[in-house]
Structure 1
Amino acid sequence: MSSEKTAPAEPLQYDEGYGTQIGVGPHPAPWPQDDRYDPELLAHGDRRNVVDRYRYWTREAIVADLDTRRHDFHVAVENWGHDFNIGSVVRTANAFLAKEVHIVGQRRWNRRGAMVTDRYQHVRHHPDTADLTAWATAEGLPIIGIDNLPGAVPLETTELPRRCVLLFGQEGPGLTEEARRHASLVCSIAQFGSTRSINAGAAAAIAMHAWIGRHARIDGPDAG
């Protein structure tokens, strides 16, 4: 790969309308001589929702680079009712660079909320929680359930393991009884208002960020 750097195209401006193009236009000549770059994107522009360092890169090159930096936590979410929040969980897992996302239950899941971030995130399917547990045990990963249940310990004061699986239930019912039995620990998220629960996608984001706050290098060159 060449280390040659060339000036990127000027970013396109955002607008209030839904039809606005985002990203950057065609790359000015000369093009970078590097096999990570996609000739089609260089020629026509890169409208994808990716950070600047990945502009014009192929999807494969982006995934390969992310794989060198992924964090040591996994995210698992139960999929028994085609919950639309799963897409949001995948998108957040991509933002926090989770090792993998595990879909437990139905293989098909609602991808709309992922905003195509699943193209850059490894996703593994498990038919049930027992299969997830068998995989996690073989990998030496404790399963940490996230749900406001009797006996749960506060997430805010709990030391999350560096290597672990964060397991979430679906909107409404939360973790299934089977998931609770297989979890090594269940953490609750402190709430102070009138609602008895928060959105599943929001809960996942809070838990992942709790892991990031404890274990990630916030001042590193890869933190955006």
Structure 2
Amino acid sequence: MTDPLPEPALPVGVGPWEGEWPDDPRYDRELLAAGDTRNVVDAYRYWTMEAIVADLDEHRHPFHVAIENWQHDMNIGSIVRSANAFLAAEVHIIGKRRWNRRGAMVTDRYQHVRHHEDVEAFAAWAAEAELPIIAIDNVPGSVALDRADLPERCALLFGQEGPGLSPAAVAAASGVVEITQYGSTRSINASAAAAVVMYEWCRRYAG
């Protein structure tokens, strides 16, 4: 039995603007002429990147996402992508300044990203911003996500794939939340866990 023929590639995005161009400064003249193949929702087709970011800034949710970055975890890019999808206020990279952007799929261009040298610096920033830190890890004393107090204004703190959060990160948090699991694995993928928690926040508050 031979392998089936590959599926034809579907067009991504939209082609050049048809008809009279819109008289709106949010639209990018080059995209209107050439088409828009970016990974953006239809409402932002042909808009400049600056216009998209400005519009997102008017609607961002009041939760922040923080990620410890000690081992150049490849999940960080995927977490940034989810933060963009769930419209987080900002993403905070704690530790190494450089992080693998491949998983972000360019969404970091539309998402505010801030760097902190260590957990202590991040905790000081959160205290100044009056944001409680909610650590996400399945450690002793953690509370199941569906029963946990998840403040509307907060910073959700995620650890590295494998080791999870550092002791300093857990100590800096005002609460520790875990995702209930039912199988044999000790933990789920870090980027998957981040998406689950962000979705739960949106389910409670985003309407």
Q: Distance in 1 between matches of 2:115 and 2:151?
A: 23
Shift of 1:159: 2.6
The answer for the alignment partner of 2:80 in structure 1 is 90
Is residue 2:69 matched to residue 1:116?
A: no
| The one of 74, 79, 93 aligned to 2:69 | 79
Is residue 2:13 matched to residue 1:23?
A: yes
Cα separation, partners in 2 of 1:16 and 1:148, compared to 1, 3 Å: farther
| The one of 205, 209, 212 aligned to 2:195 | 205
Higher RCO (C-alpha under 8 Å, 6+ residues apart): 2
Q: Distance in 2 between matches of 1:122 and 1:111?
A: 14
What secondary structure, in the 3-state scheme, does the structure 2 residue paired with 1:75 have?
Answer: strand
User: Could you report, residue by residue, the CA deviation over 1:78-106 in whole angstroms, capped at 9, with x for unpaired residues?
Assistant: 00000000000000000000000000000
RMSD: 1.1
What secondary structure, in the 3-state scheme, does the structure 2 residue paired with 1:191 have?
Answer: coil
Consecutive unaligned residues in structure 2, runs of 5 or more: 1-5
What secondary structure, in the 3-state scheme, does the structure 1 residue paired with 2:80 have?
Answer: helix
The answer for the alignment partner of 2:149 in structure 1 is 159
* TM-score w.r.t. length of structure 1: 0.88
Shift of 1:166: 0.1
Shift of 1:158: 1.3
The answer for the alignment partner of 1:3 in structure 2 is none
Shift of 1:156: 1.1
Is residue 2:161 matched to residue 1:171?
A: yes
Consecutive unaligned residues in structure 1, runs of 5 or more: 1-14, 218-224
What secondary structure, in the 3-state scheme, does the structure 2 residue paired with 1:159 have?
Answer: coil
The answer for the alignment partner of 1:49 in structure 2 is 39
| The one of 173, 180, 183 aligned to 1:190 | 180
Shift of 1:139: 0.5
User: Could you report, residue by residue, the CA deviation over 1:142-180 in whole angstroms, capped at 9, with x for unpaired residues?
Assistant: 000000000111111113100000000010000001101
What secondary structure, in the 3-state scheme, does the structure 2 residue paired with 1:132 have?
Answer: helix
Q: Distance in 2 between matches of 1:20 and 1:89?
A: 27
Is residue 2:95 matched to residue 1:138?
A: no
What secondary structure, in the 3-state scheme, does the structure 2 residue paired with 1:87 have?
Answer: helix
* 1:112 aligned partner, one-letter code: R
- Report sequence identity in percent: 66
Q: Distance in 1 between matches of 2:81 and 2:13?
A: 18
